[in-house]
Amino acid sequence: MSSDIQRAAEIIRNGGLVAFPTETVYGLGADALNPLAVARIFEAKDRPSFDPLIVHVPGLSEAMKLASAIPEKARRLAAKFWPGPLTLVLPKVPSVPDIVTSGLPSVAIRVPDHPLALEFLWEVACPIAAPSANPFGRVSPTTAQHVRDGLGDRVDLILDGGPCRVGVESTILSFLSDPPVLLRPGGISLEDLQSVIGPVTLDPHAREIPLAPGQLQNHYATQTPLYLGEGSLTGRLGYLGMKMPVDPDSYERIEVLSADGDLREAASHLFAALRRLDAAGLDALVALPVPDEGLGRAINDRLFKASQKP
């Protein structure tokens, strides 16, 4: 075991913060059973309100210590997709602090599929609450450098596991009702979930993708305003899409997510491409939605959230 992991475990035991790689994005972790340590996560991220956090564990038996019940369908999904980019929302046991769940009676749990994350989780031997390791409202980090850029010395240690393989956050599925409800599309596709457990209820709010540019307003993810779909924008523009734009000369900077049209590859490049565009000092960014299937749903969801709303 590396000395970094030992240091990370020591920091967690002392109530500190460790950023760690997962297959989706880097997480900003603290001991989930220590409310003061969890409070530091919100402080470091400048999060204005206490959103519920995902709790990371190294395996199903550790997850079972946090949930008061695990329905059969949830077990089947865990067996199939853990470790992996799937988060299950389950009724919680009393020992999970309110600051982790924002006072909800449920807890979101996942087992990340990254060797360094798993080594870290086994070594600390406590559940780790972790949101993405970026300042509130910004683009999620997919490299250790992204974490350094965004959080600097607000985090006690960054475990560097290289670039994240999946590149978009986990799929979140709530088992508080049956059929379960998709709360966030992510690294495990809806089709994959349905193939194991049948019907899944879609959150209607996650689906709408407006194509008209909205008014300039405070944006969510990039500093440069981002618009979904090509409109009548002028100025120095950046482009993000699956393929080359039809009119490449209109753009100062172009980010192609996957020349082969591979949605997995596109997802893995998404956040780094958004960061490059944002750093290029452009007037506006144009993003074209990708096919709304497989990992494309997660990509479109993030693009929608990052975009200017009408």
Burial bucket for residue 102 (CB in 10 Å: 0-12, 13-18, 19+): exposed
Q: Which of 78, 129, 147, 183 binds ligand TXA (CB under 6 A)?
A: 183
The strand order across the sheet containing 284-287 reads 226-228, 284-287, 237-241, 253-256
Helices (H) and strands (E) in the chain, counts: 10, 14
Which range of residues in 132-140, 181-189, 270-278, 283-291 is near Mg ion by CB under 5 A?
A: 132-140
Q: Which of 89, 116, 228, 290 binds ligand TXA (CB under 6 A)?
A: 89
77 vs 83, 148, 170, CA distance in Å? 11, 34, 13
Q: Which of 12, 74, 111, 130 binds ligand TXA (CB under 6 A)?
A: 130
Q: Which of 12, 54, 237, 242 binds ligand TXA (CB under 6 A)?
A: 54
Asked whether position 87 contacts Mg ion by CB under 5 A, the answer is no
- What mask of x and - would describe binding to ligand TXA in positions 13 to 32, judged by CB under 6 A? ---------x-xx-x-----
Total residues contacting ligand TXA by CB under 6 A comes to: 25
Please tell me what DSSP assigns to residue 206.
G
Asked whether position 131 contacts ligand TXA by CB under 6 A, the answer is yes
- The least CB distance from residue 32 to Mg ion, in Å, is 17
Mark out the alpha helices in 3-48 (DSSP H runs): 3-13, 35-45
Nearest C-alpha neighbor of 17 from the set 1, 33, 39, 46: 39
- The least CB distance from residue 28 to ligand TXA, in Å, is 8
Return the structure tokens found at 22: 């997962």
Contact between 17 and 154 under an 8 Å Cβ cutoff? The reply is: yes
State the residues that interact with ligand TXA by CB under 6 A.
22, 24-25, 27, 51-54, 85, 87, 89, 101, 104, 106-108, 112, 130-132, 169-170, 172, 183-184
State the residues that interact with Mg ion by CB under 5 A.
132
